[in-house]
Chain A
Amino acid sequence: MNRSLVFKLLSAVLVFGAWEIGGRIPISYAFPTFLESMEAFARMAFDGTLLRAYAETLKPLVLGVAISALLGIGFGLWIGLSARSEWFFSPIFIVMQAAPLAALIPLLVMAYGIGLTSKVFVVCIMAMPVIVLNTAGAVRNTPASLKEMGQSFLADDRQILLKIVIPAASPVIFSGLRLGVSAGFIGAVLAELKITPTGVGDIISYSRSIADYPSMYAAIFSIILLAVLFLNLLEKLENVLFEGNNRGYVSD
């Protein structure tokens, strides 16, 4: 068994152990123990509650994250490559990132109703700015000597973009994607708590209203679990696409 797995397990045991102890003291009557929460998690997983919930939650989540990733990287490349588009677009995304989203949700609801559209918007507003800004920054900071090298070996603009600028920016683009995707998960739950209670948001708000705290924490636990699994998947994708990325950089 390798060391990193041992440390991962150890860290999980520590966190869950602290949770269990915190629940047993108890620090609050609204804070269930780890085992109670896991019991509720297992119950909801087997009776299909979670399955039905995620069928709802995944719709705005997957749609929003996919739109944010595609548009976000696209906009980021554009902003990074052209100073004029930076002046035009970059303030929009900075405002988007800084805006108090929960307070703006009523505006979105007025404009787009209480359906899927508003929820996708919430996910995008959470996820897109960090993807755009990271991509733009990474593209702008492509090492000048690499671009010069491409030119001197007769690369055209398209080759410089595809074979030099994007691979050079990929580590930072991927770290933007990781941050953006986690923000998107937060956005999906926020939308379901603030717009209409569906899916996981419905489990959270309903079980809180009937004081079924283990179910509430089980639902929160499930969304974190999903986010972690997805981030791991993203890391695998990065390692497949850019083999050299996880091996450090030439610098000394």
Chain B
Amino acid sequence: MSQTESSFAGAQRLGPDSAVSVRGVSKTYGAVEALRNMSLEFPRGQLTSLLGPSGCGKTTLLKIIAGLIPADEGEVEVNGTKIAGPGNDRAFVFQDFALLPWANVLRNVAFGLELRGVAKSEREAVAERYIRNVGLAGFEKSFPHELSGGMRQRVGLARALSVNADVLLLDEPFSAVDEQTRRKFQEDLLALVANENKTFIFVTHSIEEAVYVSDQIAILLARPSRVSEIIRPSSFREKGVENIRRDPEYLDIVDQIWASLRSYVE
């Protein structure tokens, strides 16, 4: 390798390494323009929030990254490879949990592996480990309707973790659970980001939630949908979960986001 090549190889590693890159993605539904020429980088190992008023296309963008919806234009790269549909490098956590009501917790958590043809004993061992991780030990044989909303979303989270994807896509995962459960979830999510070495893409409509959990917040605005601002909180992440909500930077960012969003909320 010549010296020039080796120095360029080093140069490419500069800046944050992106796990997911969205480049020039557009999407229209009939006459409605959901996304126009959207570009966004998602740094590896970090949590990026997509935050914006309803109708700004944040869920559409997430589903395009998941490969569930094809983009009309532009491309999405995951780990440097252009995607052509859902892949085993990404796992999705659904707003309405999307659990199989006829299957118990164990089978629901193992379902992603079941679809991949992993042998029953093996996938159940993996599932049991993640059921313990999300704090549902003892509920393996319960059915979804026997669980509370928060517990159901823990099942959805365990299912997404058990397929061991690099990128976790979370579509307003805590919007259907109560406030106290949600706070616990947010703390658990921070621990997950710190321990799991995965990239998280998190759609939310809650400003406080986005600032609390994110390494990077992308503010999306509607009509036409665009990234208006990217905010990277810097100082309060290391101060411990119990100190974040009274940190001056946290409060400033929450105010700043509301100031820029308020004119778009009718």
Partners in one complex: yes
* Interface bin, chain B: 20 to 34
Proximity string of chain B (90-117) to chain A, C-beta cutoff 8 Å, 1 when within and 0 when not = 1110101111111110000001101110
Which one of B98, B112, B163 lies within 8 Å of A148 (CB-CB)?
Answer: B98
- Does any Cβ of A come within 8 Å of B68's Cβ? yes
Chain B residues contacting A243 (CB-CB under 8 Å) are: 102
Pairwise interchain contact B94-A145, C-beta atoms closer than 8 A:
yes
Q: Determine the main DSSP class of B at the interface with A.
A: loop
Pairwise interchain contact B145-A247, C-beta atoms closer than 8 A:
yes
Pairwise interchain contact A154-B102, C-beta atoms closer than 8 A:
no
- Does any Cβ of B come within 8 Å of A244's Cβ? yes
Q: Which residue of B lies closest to A146 (CB)?
A: B98
Q: Which residue of B lies closest to A247 (CB)?
A: B143
Pairwise interchain contact A154-B96, C-beta atoms closer than 8 A:
no
- Does any Cβ of A come within 8 Å of B52's Cβ? no
Pairwise interchain contact A154-B115, C-beta atoms closer than 8 A:
yes
B168 CB, min distance to chain A CBs, angstroms: 11
Which one of B66, B102, B103, B104 lies within 8 Å of A152 (CB-CB)?
Answer: B66
Which one of B63, B86, B104, B159 lies within 8 Å of A154 (CB-CB)?
Answer: B86
Pairwise interchain contact B86-A151, C-beta atoms closer than 8 A:
yes
Chain B residues contacting A154 (CB-CB under 8 Å) are: 86-88, 112, 115-116
Contact A153/B111 with A244-B104, A250-B144 known, Cβ cut-off 8 Å: yes
Closest 7 CB pairs of A and B: A244-B102, A149-B98, A152-B92, A153-B112, A145-B98, A250-B144, A155-B115
Interface residue ranges, A against B (CB under 8 Å): 143, 145-146, 148-155, 159, 163-164, 167-168, 170, 242-245, 247-252
Interface residue ranges, B against A (CB under 8 Å): 63, 66-68, 86-88, 90-92, 94, 96-104, 111-112, 114-116, 143-146, 149, 152, 159, 163
